[in-house]
Amino acid sequence: MKGPSLLSDELLRHLMAVGQVDVVVGLPTLNHAATVGGVVRAAHAAFAAGLKRERTVLLNVDGGSTDGTADAVREASLVAAETLVAAQPLRTVHGISAPYHGLPGKGAALRTLFAAAELLDARAFVLLDPDVTSVTPEWVGGLARPVLREGFDYVAPVFSRAPGEGPLVTQLARPLVRAAYGRRVLEPLASELGCSVRYAAHCLTQDVWSAPFVNYGIDVWLTTTALAGGFRCAQAALGPRRQAPRAQAPSLPELLRQVVGALFACLERHQAHWVPREGAEAVETRGEPGRAEAADPPDPAPLAEAFRAGVRDLAPVLGGILEPATLEGVKAAARDEVPAFPDALWVATVVDFAAAFHGGRIHRDHLLGSLVPLYLGRVAWHLAATTGADPAGAEEAREGLCLEFERAKPELVRRWNAAGGR
Amino acid sequence: MSTDPHWYKDAVFYELHVKAYCDSTGDGIGDFEGLLTKLDHLQELGVDCVWLLPMYPSPFRDDGYDISDYLSIHPDYGSLADFRSFLAAAHDRGMKVITELVLNHTSDQHAWFQAARSSPADPKRDYYVWSDSDEKYQGVRIIFRDTERSNWAWDPVSKAHYWHRFFSHQPDLNYDNPAVREEIWQVMRHWLDQGVDGFRVDAVPYLIEREGTSCENLPETHEVLRFLRRRLDEAYEGKVLLAEANMWPEDVRPYFGDGDEFHMAFHFPIMPRMFMALRLEDRKPLVEIIERTPPIPEGCQWGIFLRNHDELTLEMVTDEERDYMYEEYARDKVARINLGIRRRLAPLLDGDRRRVELMNALLMSLPGSPIVYYGDEIGMGDNVYLGDRNGVRTPMQWSGGWNAGFSTADPERLFLPLISNAVYGYQAVNVESQRRSESSLLRWMQRLIRVRKSTRVFSRGTIEFLKPRNHRVLAYVRAHEGEAALVVNNLAGTAQAVELDLPALAGAIPIEMFGRSLFPRITEAPYVLTLGPYDFYWFRLRWL
Amino acid sequence: MADLILETLAEAWTKYLGTIRAFLPRVLATVSLVLAGWLLGLLLGFVTRKVLGWVRFDAAAERTGAAELLRRAELPPAHRLAGATVFWVVFLGFVLSGIDALGFRGVQGLMADFTRFVPRLVVAFVVLVVGLLVSNFAWRATLIAAVNAKLAPARVVAGTVRLLLVVLTVTMTLEQIGVARAVVLTAFAIAFGSVMLAIAIAVGVGASGLARRLLEEHLASRDAKGPEGLSHL
């Protein structure tokens, strides 16, 4: 209990001055000068319009930005303040901007935000991503209201997606989380959320904050912890999500390593909860998800090529991960121009990889790296299958994949337990 | 309802007399049916355990402590079935109930005594302590010296003397007789089987007599108590025995045994010192008595209280202190009785809301389970002109209407008259009007109890006194299983500043418990606090 | 004449039998030592196998890739191999002692030399094993990274890396044992140097365009959209 404090003196003084609030909007930043202004303005607009009666504070914690993020936040707050005066809100609107302790990264930032929300005895906490350019004031209200008014502990966003958009979510994260944890959360990887302080306090007591995946896998951990911890979960439709391109964005192999690594690591952490669960319950949703218009669908050919080359070159490695039947299926798929990677084969692949991850037979970085070409093959097949299809058809296809994952749950459990007992 | 065997450590107790609480039959005397209708008030207050004063058949020459039948309910209060209904209703609301167990003596109207006195050959003769002369046990002090001249009384029927430490119509039972122990155990069993959760045991030090001793606190007495506790533990779980032993804390300590005698005992000496500290505006008397209190076994707990049905006893203070207390709190001699002051809490504190709040805050934050006396939650007044200690036992004031909502009988028929003056009268001070106001004492008490129960640091924690130079400030740290709370009380009627040395708590963020406001972080440097008159702070300490 | 021959023969045979008689106890000692070594080796080998099985040595071998290597080389599983190694070390030790007991002077010198040689042999063995494991690990890591970076000759690149590391390992092992030291070191230096030179020339002259494109692609800003224009999250 008496280790180094999460809260710097400066931050603590700010918190003391603000005192008890109803809603804390948390904004972690690290070199986000280009995009943070829009998010700040949207948050302040939300305070003035949708959360007029509530005591609110926008809490920006920064990991040591060198590109003028702090100035951008300040400027945006001033602009917002002028707009606010015109809107004549009932209360003083607070904004705090302070550095946080610890190594810069989402883990330390989030931990500080949760601690601050708990100290301020907030009724609801909303987390925003400073990279997003499509934030509207309704995002804050949408994520906060189910917590404030209906007593939910965790609110995940639902974004309007174009068909074919976000395959890592639609083809892997969403169906896997749904099948394993038994709840139909549409965006398990989202970096936005709304939650109660009860949930935040629970997260603070978990021993995840020094785990290796805390800086890139914290989003999926937050979602799965809420599902596994028996918290009341809901979803809020927020519209489309557009993110600014980042100079230091990870490559696809790195992205897969982070995301899938975190997904599997969370499966290990929560295995006592998900292994015995059956079925998949719906999660209450507020608002209409809507649909985004697709840009030109990407060409699946390079993906298919990468898949074929990967299967050919990585055959010796894949042999140590996939079951013989799955490997045969993958090799057969690689022989076609457009890889035939149907749901059953993809699900079997994911199950094999999950079991291999848990069994620890092959170094985890190598394991996750080997998944990349298979993932590309699946995406190629998925794009080819859904290009030109109507939205209902695309939705049906996604639902079909989810059901296939659910059907494969007993096999996943069996393989998981066998790998763990080794 | 709590299934924790040590539930009494966390419980808030409430002492009431059935006859004074609520009358449902219109005879002017409270009863169990009426009491049942008032359980919601107790539940809202946050009471965990109700302590009932004696409710047994009695000739009422000692306000019910002279019992003539251990196994029934006095007909004025209802029947055994009524009692059982009340008990069930209390349990349904998560509240426990303890009743009185008067061990030391019975009424001379009790069937046992009637049998014992009838003939020396009667099987129940040895239930009592007989002697042909009154020379035995010379030198033993007389407790009710205002009314008694000797501890022996002559019984004309059996032509022998019998021993009585209290009134002469209350012959002492003979605990050297195994049959008596067995009988008393059967009495306990009877009530425990009805569902009662424990007993407040009256007058424990006097059970056994031995020549050449003070006949108080003898080892044989402890043996009797251990016997009863053993039988209790063998047959029941989760019951509590609360000892009434008005002695210095180190003298009460033996009554906990090694955890094999009483679960709880009243801490009498704290109570007058709380009033003294307040008047002196000095923490010294209170800190001394608590630091002098010896540690007690793990499963045991002290019971602390501000007022009860008796006088504010000044037995366990020095003569100097007694004189001071009489001068400050009972200038009018009519308020004095025996060795104490027969006033309620609010009148003792001049009806000063701030002082009433501070005293209740002390009660709820010092070590021990707090016992609230009925009526003090609304600040009821008293009537010193009623005889004995009846001035603090007047009917509960529920509303400003007919008989304060206590009874539908004629006012002249009430067992005791209502308090009706303009300051404390029932029109001004009653539950109904205080329920309607968020700023009333009743609402404040509910909040206080709620905050106390939000953590175990007050009920089970250790206490460490901070001794800042400002003697008007009483500050201490309560700690339990990793949680810690800092309590700071201003005993003075004037604003105070205080510097607290808290290096051991450096790094903690104090969060005020009633409003959740954050206070500056504690550092190695002295921590400055300012308090208004009679103000107090409860801080929860967080390391984040 | 016949008597002389018989006498000489008898003398020779007596001497010979005497030598045999003198020698026999030593032979018996040797045989007993060899037998004891064989039994003790069996016992220790068995214990080793059981202990390693109990501490899940095979699982560790899987994780480090050693099991893979053994399978490829058609060797028995790790714990059996370890047990066999223990058996042979113990047995050979007793055999050497047995040979020593025979008392052949020339042989005794050889034995001393051999005993001094054993530690270096052990170290060389360790270097070989570790080197092979590292090369296998590096091969797999390079292969996966190259495939994911869409380098066309991914297998070649990975194979080359493994080959280089294996060559390095073997060279270090041979150097450790002291076999043809100068030859081995010189050959290695020449081969390694020329490979590096060849690569440098190839990259600098022949594949400059490819190199430039690779570097550009690596340093160019990448978003969550892959080069295929797809947004994965």
Q: How many CB atoms lie within 10 A of CB B500?
A: 19
Which residue from A161, A151, A123, A150 is spatially nearest to A237, judged by alpha carbons? A161
> What integer pLDDT is reported at residue A250 of this predicted model?
79
Q: Does domain A9-286 have CATH number 3.90.550.10?
A: yes
Sequence spans of domains, chain A: 9-286, 301-421
- Choose, out of A159, A259, A314, the residue to mutate when testing the contact with C (most C CBs < 10 Å): A314
Q: Do A and C have ≥3 inter-chain CB pairs under 8 A? A: yes
Q: What is the pLDDT of residue B179?
A: 94
Q: Which of chain A's residues have a Cβ under 8 Å away from the Cβ of C145?
A: 253, 369
Distance CA B163, CA B133 (A): 11
Residues of B with catalytic function: 202, 244
State the number of CA atoms in the 13 A half-sphere of A324 facing the CB. Answer: 0
The radius of gyration computed from the CA coordinates of chain C, to the nearest angstrom, equals 30
- Select the residue of B519, B521, B544 nearest A115 (Cβ to Cβ): B544
Give percent of chain A with pLDDT exceeding 90: 54
Decide if C225 and A252 are in contact by the 8 Å CB cutoff: no
**C 129-158 residues inside an 8 A Cβ radius of A:** 137, 140-141, 143-150, 152, 154-155, 158
Question: Where is mean pLDDT largest: A297-301, A387-391, B1-5, C3-7?
Answer: C3-7
pLDDT over 70 percentage in chain A: 96
Determine whether the interchain pair B482/A9 forms a contact, defined as Cβ–Cβ distance below 8 Å.
Answer: no
Render pLDDT for A113-128 as a digit per residue (tens, 0 to 9).
Answer: 999 999 999 999 999 9
Q: How far away is chain C from the Cα of A344, in angstroms, using its nearest Cα?
A: 21
Do the Cβ atoms of A119 and B520 come within 8 Å? no
Residue with token string 């190199």: C211
Q: What is the pLDDT of residue C212?
A: 66
Q: Using a CB–CB cutoff of 8 Å, tell me whether B482 touches chain A.
A: yes
SS (H, E, C) chain A: CCCCCCCCHHHHHHHHHHCCCCEEEEEEECCCHHHHHHHHHHHHHHHHHCCCCCCEEEEEEECCCCCCHHHHHHHHHHHHHHHHHHHCCCCCCEEEEEECCCCCCHHHHHHHHHHHHHHCCCCEEEECCCCECCCCHHHHHHHHHHHHHHCCCEEEEEECCCCCCCHHHHHHHHHHHHHHHCECCCCCCCCCEEECHHHHHHHHHCCCCCCHHHHCCHHHHHHHHHHHCCCCEEEEEEECCCECCCCECCCHHHHHHHHHHHHHHHHHHCHHHHCCCCCCECCEEECCCCCCCCCCCCCCHHHHHHHHHHHHHHHHHHHCCCCHHHHHHHHHHHHCCCCCCCHHHHHHHHHHHHHHHHHCCCCHHHHHHHHHHHHHHHHHHHHHHHCCCCHHHHHHHHHHHHHHHHHCHHHHHHHHHHHHHC
Beta carbons of A255 and C140 less than 8 Å apart: no
User: Which chain B residues are Cβ-neighbours of A115 within 8 angstroms?
Assistant: 544
> In this predicted structure, what is the pLDDT of residue C223?
42
Judge: C143–A362 Cβ closer than 8 Å, yes or no: no
B544 has a chain A CB within 8 A of its CB: yes
Choose the closest CB to A313 out of C154, C221, C224. C154
Interface of A with B in 91-130 (CB under 8 A): 115, 118-121
Contacts of B434 (CB under 8 A, 6+ apart): B378, B440, B441, B442, B443
Q: Which of C144, C154, C221 sits opposite A247 (nearest CB)?
A: C221
A4, pLDDT greater than 70 = no
Paired sense of beta strands A124-127 and A193-195, if any: antiparallel
Rounded (10°) CA dihedral B444, B446, B450, B452: 70
Provide φ and ψ at B319, rounded to 5°: -60, -45
**CA–CA separation, B4 and B2 (whole Å):** 5
User: Given an 8 Å threshold on Cβ–Cβ distance, is A15 in contact with B520?
Assistant: no
Q: What length does chain A have? A: 422
Asked if residue A99 lies in contact with residue A60, where contact means CB atoms within 8 angstroms, the answer is: no
Nearest to A366 among C140, C149, C229 (CB): C140
Question: Mean pLDDT throughout A355-370?
Answer: 90
- B156 contacts B108 by C-beta, under 8 angstroms: no
Residues of A in contact with C144 (CB under 8 A): 314, 317, 366, 369-370, 372
Of C137, C140, C233, the CB nearest to A189: C233
| Tens digit of each residue's pLDDT, chain B (544 residues) | 678 889 999 999 999 999 999 999 999 999 999 999 999 999 999 999 999 999 999 999 888 999 999 999 999 999 999 999 999 999 999 999 999 999 999 999 999 999 999 988 999 999 999 999 888 888 888 887 778 888 999 999 888 999 999 999 999 999 999 999 999 999 999 999 999 999 999 989 999 999 989 899 999 999 999 999 999 999 999 999 999 988 899 999 999 999 999 999 999 999 999 999 999 898 989 999 999 999 999 999 999 999 999 888 888 788 888 888 888 888 888 888 777 888 999 999 999 999 999 999 999 999 999 999 999 999 999 998 987 788 999 999 999 999 999 999 999 999 999 999 999 999 999 999 999 999 999 999 999 999 999 999 999 999 999 989 889 999 999 999 999 999 999 999 999 999 999 999 999 999 999 999 999 999 999 999 999 999 999 999 999 8
- Backbone CA torsion sign across A117, A120, A123, A129: negative
- Name the minimum distance, in Å, from the CA of B141 to any CA of chain A: 55
Q: What is the pLDDT of residues A203-250, one digit of tens each?
A: 999 988 888 778 788 999 999 999 999 999 999 999 999 888 777 777
What is the rounded distance in angstroms from the CA atom of residue A254 to the CA atom of residue B101? 76
CB B509 within 8 A of CB B539: no
Residues in contact with C21: Cβ distance below 8 Å, sequence separation at least 6, in sequence order = none
Q: Which residues contact C200 (CB under 8 A, 6 or more apart)?
A: none
Question: What is residue C128's three-state secondary structure?
Answer: helix
Structure confidence by residue, pLDDT tens digits, A250-264: 788 888 999 999 999
pLDDT value at residue A112: 94
Site of tokens 């109904």: B432
Which residue has better confidence, A82 or A308? A308
- Cβ burial, residue A26 (10 Å; 0-12/13-18/19+): buried
- In sequence order, the 6+-apart residues with CB closer than 8 A to the CB of A78 are none
Q: How many CB pairs under 8 A join A and B?
A: 36
- Name the range with the highest mean pLDDT among A295-304, A339-348, B297-306, C198-207: B297-306
* B518 touching chain A per CB within 8 A: yes
- Residues of chain B found within 8 Å of residue A15, distances taken between Cβ atoms: 518
Count Cβ atoms within 10 A of the Cβ of residue B439 and give its class: 0-12 exposed, 13-18 middle, 19 or more buried. exposed
- CB pair distance less than 8 Å for B509 and A119: yes
Token readout for C12 is 């020779």
Length of chain B: 544
Residue A237: phi, psi to the nearest 5?
Answer: -75, 125
Using CA atoms, how far residue A203 sits from A115, A184, A206, A302, B481, in Å, is 10, 22, 5, 42, 21
Per-residue pLDDT of chain C (233 residues; tens, 9 = 90+): 888 888 898 898 888 888 888 888 888 888 888 899 899 999 998 898 888 888 877 777 776 667 777 776 677 777 888 888 888 888 888 888 888 777 776 666 666 777 777 788 888 888 888 888 888 888 888 888 888 888 778 888 888 888 888 888 888 888 888 777 787 778 878 888 887 888 787 777 766 666 666 666 666 544 444 455 677 77
Q: What's the confidence (pLDDT) of residue A339?
A: 81
Nearest chain B Cα to A17, which residue?
Answer: B518
Q: Give all domains of chain B, ordered by start, each with its CATH number.
A: 12-64+71-102+373-454 (3.20.20.80), 111-163 (3.90.400.10), 461-542 (2.60.40.1180)
- The answer to whether residues B301 and B295 touch, using CB atoms and an 8 Å cutoff, is no
Q: A298 and C229 in contact by Cβ < 8 A?
A: yes
What are the residues whose beta carbons fall under 8 Å from the beta carbon of B483, sequence distance 6 or more?
A: B455, B456, B457, B461, B540
Residue to test with chain A: of C139, C140, C155, C156, most A Cβ within 10 A: C140
Q: How far apart are CA B242 and CA B231, in angstroms?
A: 16
CB B172 within 8 Å of CB B204: no
Q: Do B544 and A118 touch (CB under 8 A)?
A: yes
Residues 10-49 of C with CB under 8 A from A: none
Helix, strand or coil, per DSSP, at residue B517: coil
Across A324-352, average pLDDT: 90
What residue of A is the nearest CA neighbor of C231? Answer: A166
Max Cα distance, chain C (Å): 113
3-state secondary structure of B426: coil
